[in-house]
Structure 1
Amino acid sequence: MKRLSIRKQPLLSVVNDHLIDYPTPSNINYFWGFGSLAGLCLVVQIATGVFLAMHYTAHIDLAFHSVEHIMRDVEGGWFLRYMHANGASMFFVAVYLHMFRSLYYGSYASPRELTWCVGVVILLLMIITAFIGYVLPWGKLY
């Protein structure tokens, strides 16, 4: 009977390299989980944003009323809206903690300057996206 070798199977090799034999630093602690937490918050933001966009009307005269419609008439709409609003705050908290951890451990130094610069560009894009999401309900943020 032939034994299944993980190294010879491409899919199993990728799973093994990224989940089991993943190289980690010796000083790993809870601060290293904030990047994954930010990723989880991003997934929640995208999922709730898609569901909210199904009922949102992007018109200056109707945006406020569409938010009221989501809050009052859509089943679970209030929950999705508050989850989306609070998820945005949690997302930024996780991202800032991730960046502070990177600053503390010197992750911006050589040979990771490009990774740090890409991360700063992503942060700026996140701030712009958050501002756009902030003005969408036209003042109805409570």
Structure 2
Amino acid sequence: MKIPQPSILQIPHVFKVPYVILADKAFALNEYTMKPFQGEPERGSIERVFNYRLSRGRRVVENAFGIASSVFRVLHNFLRKNSTFQYTPHGSLDMETDTEIILGSWRNDSESSSLLPITNLPRRSGNDAKEIRLHLAKHFATNGEIQWKNRY
């Protein structure tokens, strides 16, 4: 995926931090997925500052996806109603009659062209992931500090 190599956040630290995906508490913590600390950390603590900064970053991403999906929905509806070509040919979408549901042809696509099933992965976080999260928490609390962090 051409993800950059881990790098040092700020001198004098020597701990290299990998690029990560921002996640919520539903995801597993690992070296490439950061999730908030559990519970309600104490006001002004590095854990609480980390949770806020993680949430702030996730909000930016969620807004971008929300805008993209909203635009796609409008485009999708426009193409379905006004297109001179068959954007969704008859039978490609699920249909419902008075007595049955007729499944769309998209359901017959091969696995290589559709979403693959999610495999069951262990949920226990490794020490490396916890160390990365703690380092990020310390970084957020000391470098680029938010002045009002103790009120949050």
TM > 0.5: no
User: Which one has the bigger helix percentage?
Assistant: 1
User: What TM-score does the superposition give when structure 1 sets the normalisation length?
Assistant: 0.32
User: Which one has the bigger strand percentage?
Assistant: 2
